Amino acid sequence: MDKKILVGKRLLDRDDIESICTTIAKQLDAKFENSETLPVVVGILKGGAPFMCDIVRKMKTIVSIDFMSVSSYSGTKSTGELKMKMDITTDIKGRDVILVDDVVDTGLTTYYLVKYLKEKRGVKSITTVFLVDKPAKRKFDVPVDYYGLRYEGEDYLIGYGLDYNNLLRNIFGSEYKLL
């Protein structure tokens, strides 16, 4: 790593994340309790995996789980280009999809995935869920159906799935500033 990492203030602690996951799980249960098909929860690797797993564990609705891997970042900056690294294997045509990711900032990833899942995979509906919503950085108009924390700051956040160059995802609930 070529940058110094300064520990900043803790934005979310374990109790906060537990509460966020419980709340969102209940909201998703209420939304999909009368769904004609089993919803498919799609976690966006790698950052969305811890958050998705914690939400799914709390849901009472029976769901199918799958993962996608896409990337638009190099270090702390979006490249503006999205690369699909791994597509889902589940047949989702005509099904409700719950898309779970760690953060929505520029909206590039969400814009691309929503368009792809609707146009190429023929989903019935898409519900988006994010741990962190950073609207100040938004460049694309994307749906943000559920989120745990709205963050107006410019700091680069890490921990609980959020990373810097694929590192520091395991740090829990902290904010780090990169110099």
Provide long-range contacts, Cβ within 8 A and 24+ apart, for 67-70: 67/42, 67/43, 68/42, 68/43, 68/44, 68/113, 69/44, 69/45, 70/44, 70/109, 70/112, 70/113
| Predicted confidence (pLDDT) per residue in 15-65, tens digit | 888 999 999 999 999 999 988 889 999 999 887 888 999 999 999 999 999
pLDDT confidence bin for 166, thresholds 50/70/90: low
**Active site (annotated) includes residue 105:** yes
Catalytic residue among 96, 101, 102, 105: 105
Q: Where are the domains of the chain?
A: 12-173
pLDDT confidence bin for 8, thresholds 50/70/90: low
Looking at this protein, which amino acid is placed at residue 169?
R
> Does the pLDDT at position 75 exceed 80?
no
Look at phi and psi of residue 166 and say left if phi exceeds 0, alpha if psi is from -120 to 50, else beta.
left
What architecture does CATH give domain 12-173? 3-Layer(aba) Sandwich (3.40)
The predicted pLDDT at position 160 comes to 62
